[in-house]
């Protein structure tokens, strides 16, 4: 029996730049990636959605603030509300926060400088569709490249997220001024995740690290299960 190939949508906004990397990486993990243009009002039949990195709409006003109103984002919100898997990477994370699909907000890096380097991370939670192939406490090395990756939540929100175990990834050293070094979070239901590091840029030892493969192959595996469940 051949295992079904999950279809994973990759949203394309004007100003996105990592859409093809995400597409390539998902295909490498045996998913069937499908580009979805930002003006689409309906998603095709998908098992998961990835919002890739970049600078949608020039990051005008606040990063992600304008992209969240793209017609395709309404469809993504509906997809997430039905329990669909959504992963936002970098700008995708910023968009999901602005859209209210993930908690917190991404601000200018504390240093005001663009950060572009491999960063060390620790996995805090493995019972999510995005980290099931990681071990709890596992250290990962995945690159970041952002000017606005300083995740912020006020005290009350942060306590709530801690209590709900919604912090999934943390930097193990200061990177951008993020509150408590948060690098990735999930929504309460656990079907939407955002992270600033770029797993799609770390899927082969030739790229310096293959640790991003753990995140993306977890997603592909979870999407495949949803195909099987639907059959």
Partner 1 sequence: MRATVLVRPKHGILDPQGQAVESSLRQLGFAVGEARVGRVVDLELESNDPAGARAEVERMCEQLLANPLIESYEIELTEAAGD
**Catalytically active residues, by annotation:** 90, 198, 200
Give the separation between CA 50 and CA 18, rounded to whole angstroms: 11
Residue closer to partner 1, measured from CB, 64 or 143? 64
According to CB under 8 A, which residues from 54 to 113 bind partner 1? 61-62, 65-66, 69, 98, 104-105, 107-112
Segment lying near partner 1 (by CB under 8 A), choices 35-43, 115-123, 151-159, 200-208 = 151-159
- The footprint of partner 1 on residues 177-196 (CB under 8 A) is 177
3-state secondary structure of 214: helix
The whole-angstrom separation of Cα 167 and Cα 123 is 9
Q: How many residues bind partner 1 (CB under 8 A)?
A: 19
* Closest separation in Å from C-beta 222 to partner 1: 29
Taking residue 81's Cβ as centre, other Cβ atoms within 10 Å add up to: 12
CA distances from 110 to 104, 113, 194 (A): 16, 8, 20
Q: Enumerate residues 191-220 that contact partner 1 by CB under 8 A.
A: none
Query: Which of 61, 228 has the CB closer to partner 1?
Result: 61
Looking at the Cβ atoms of 142 and 153, the one nearer to partner 1 is 153
Secondary structure (3-state) at 213? helix
Q: Which stretch binds partner 1 (CB under 8 A): 22-30, 126-134, 147-155, 191-199?
A: 147-155
In DSSP terms, which residues pair with 140 in a beta bridge?
121
- Judged by CB under 8 A, does residue 15 bind partner 1? no
Q: For residue 119, give Cα distances in angstroms to 52, 88, 198.
A: 19, 18, 10
Report the residue from 154, 173, 205, 206 that binds partner 1 according to the rule CB under 8 A.
Answer: 154
Q: Which of 36, 153, 215, 219 binds partner 1 (CB under 8 A)?
A: 153
The distance of closest approach from Cβ of residue 120 to partner 1 in the complex, given in angstroms and rounded to an integer, is 23
CB 203 within 8 A of CB 25: yes
Task: Give the phi and the psi of residue 159 in degrees, each rounded to 5.
Answer: -60, -40
Nearest residue (CB) to partner 1, 109 versus 191: 109
> Burial level of 134, CB count in 10 A (0-12/13-18/19+)?
buried
Cβ-in-10-Å burial (0-12, 13-18, 19+) of 156 comes to: exposed
Which C-beta is closer to partner 1: that of 49 or that of 65? 65
Interacting residues with partner 1 (CB under 8 A): 61-62, 65-66, 69, 98, 104-105, 107-112, 152-154, 157, 177
């Amino acid at each position: 029996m051949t295992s079904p190939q999950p279809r994973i949508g990759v949203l394309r906004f004007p100003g996105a730049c990592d859409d093809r990397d995400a597409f390539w990486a998902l295909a490498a993990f045996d998913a069937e990636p499908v580009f979805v243009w930002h003006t689409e009002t309906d998603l095709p039949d998908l098992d998961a959605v990835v919002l890739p990195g970049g600078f949608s709409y020039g990051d005008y006003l606040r990063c992600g603030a304008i992209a969240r109103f793209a017609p395709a984002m309404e469809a993504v919100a509906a997809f997430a509300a039905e329990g669909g898997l959504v992963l936002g990477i970098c700008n995708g994370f910023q968009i999901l926060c602005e859209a209210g699909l993930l908690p917190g907000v991404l601000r200018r890096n504390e240093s005001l400088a663009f950060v572009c380097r491999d960063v060390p991370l620790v996995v805090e939670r493995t019972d999510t569709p995005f980290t099931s192939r990681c071990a709890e406490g596992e250290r990962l090395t995945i690159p970041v490249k952002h000017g606005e990756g300083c995740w912020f939540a006020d005290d009350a929100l942060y306590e709530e997220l801690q209590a709900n175990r919604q912090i999934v990834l943390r930097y193990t050293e200061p990177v951008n001024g993020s509150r408590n070094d948060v690098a990735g979070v999930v929504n309460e239901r656990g079907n939407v995740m955002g992270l600033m590091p770029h797993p799609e840029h770390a899927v082969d030892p030739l790229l310096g690290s293959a640790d991003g493969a753990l995140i993306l192959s977890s997603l592909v595996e979870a999407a495949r299960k949803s195909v099987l469940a639907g059959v």
